[in-house]
Amino acid sequence: MPSTSQRSSSTDSSTFRPRGHLLRQESAVCDQLRRDKFNMALRINYLETQLQHLLEGKGYTEAEVLAELAELRMTLTKRENELHEYALKSSLMTNEPDKNAKTTTENQDQTVADFVSYKSMYTALQAELSATMQLKKQAIDDADKLRRQVTHLSIDYKSQGIAMRKLQSDYKTAQDKIYQLETQGCCNNNVEALNDGLINKLGKNGQELIVTEKQDGMIHEKQVQVGVSEQPPLENKTLSEVVEKDGEKSHTMHQKQLLANDTTNDLNRVGDFMISEHTATVEKLKRELISSKDEKEARE
């Protein structure tokens, strides 16, 4: 049979347990009380038998019987106290489910409110995460686009460098040619001056040229007579043709010099244009890279 302290502790621990558990515990306590009642009835019957034996002069002494009766009274008193405590606890257990139900309802309402709040917060965070992922994807696409632009501009830069070196080589070649043409132009100018002087001289001294031609004709006739073969004298027409050819050659050289100067100017303009284009492209690329870096830092 369990002790009073054990039953009391088991009863105390069930104060705040669920309704079904309380009913089972109440049924167990009732069964225990019935068993205790039956045991007490047996003990009373036993004591009555012993008392009868005592009255007949058999069995226990009076002192032993009185001691056992006192113990029995104490046990009965303890059982009555336990029954009273059990009645109070049963009353508390009956009222406790209502309080627990009210508290549970309030907790459920708070839980529902918290769930709605957390759900809205989750939706907002999900939307923010989606927007962040979209911005990250856009930033990655922009970075890839800028990387491709950098690669393309690097290729263009190399191509422009090759073209620039070729233009520089052509420019140097043109300068060398201009120098040659200028040198030839100086020679042609000297020839032109000599031709102009010769023409002026022919214009002033026409009679002398006629006399000289006559003298040359006479000398030629004498040479023919004596059988001496010599080149014919230079006629005025032939000299004019030579002078005219030299003038045309000088004019052609002058035109070539002008063309070389124009080519040099064109090459200079093309070189300046390519340099300005390359500088503008590099500056634009730098600005785009800086802008992309700032946007990426701002998004992070």
Q: What is the mean pLDDT of residues 195-207?
A: 50
CA distance 161 to 165: 6
103-145 pLDDT, tens digit each: 677 777 778 888 788 788 878 888 888 887 888 788 788 878 8
The torsion angle over the Cα atoms of residues 184, 189, 193 and 196, rounded to 10 degrees, is 100
Instruction: Answer whether residue 242 shows pLDDT above 80.
Output: no
pTM higher than the cut 0.75: no
CA distance 140 to 135: 9
Helix axis angle, 19-55 to 62-204, nearest 10°:
160
Top-confidence residue, 266 or 194: 266
pLDDT band at 243 (very low <50, low <70, confident <90, very high): low
**Pair 274, 163: CB distance under 8 Å:** yes
Q: State the DSSP string of the chain.
A: ---HHHHHHHHHHTTTS-HHHHHHHHHHHHHHHHHHHHHHHHHHHHHHHHHHHHHTT-SS-HHHHHHHHHHHHHHHHHHHHHHHHHHHHHHHHHHHHHHHHHHHHHHHHHHHHHHHHHHHHHHHHHHHHHHHHHHHHHHHHHHHHHHHHHHHHHHHHHHHHHHHHHHHHHHHHHHHHHHHHHHHHHHHHHHHHHHHHHHHHHHHTHHHHHHHHHHHHHHHHHHHHTT---PPPPPHHHHHHHHHHHHHHHHHHHHHHHHHHHHHHHHHHHHHHHHHHHHHHHHHHHHHHHHHHHHHHHH-
Q: What is the mean pLDDT of residues 248-268?
A: 69
Domain coordinates in residue numbering, the chain: 4-129, 143-199+235-299
Q: What is the mean pLDDT of residues 67-74?
A: 79
The torsion angle over the Cα atoms of residues 57, 58, 60 and 61, rounded to 10 degrees, is 20
Q: How high is the pLDDT of residue 229?
A: 42
Share of the chain above pLDDT 90, in %: 0
Top-confidence residue, 70 or 242: 70
Mean pLDDT in the chain?
68
Q: How high is the pLDDT of residue 154?
A: 76
Instruction: Answer whether residue 8 shows pLDDT above 60.
Output: no
- Please name which of 185, 167, 187 lies closest in space to residue 263, comparing C-alpha atoms: 167
Instruction: Answer whether residue 149 shows pLDDT above 60.
Output: yes
Question: CA separation (Å) from 297 to 85, 126, 136?
Answer: 73, 22, 11
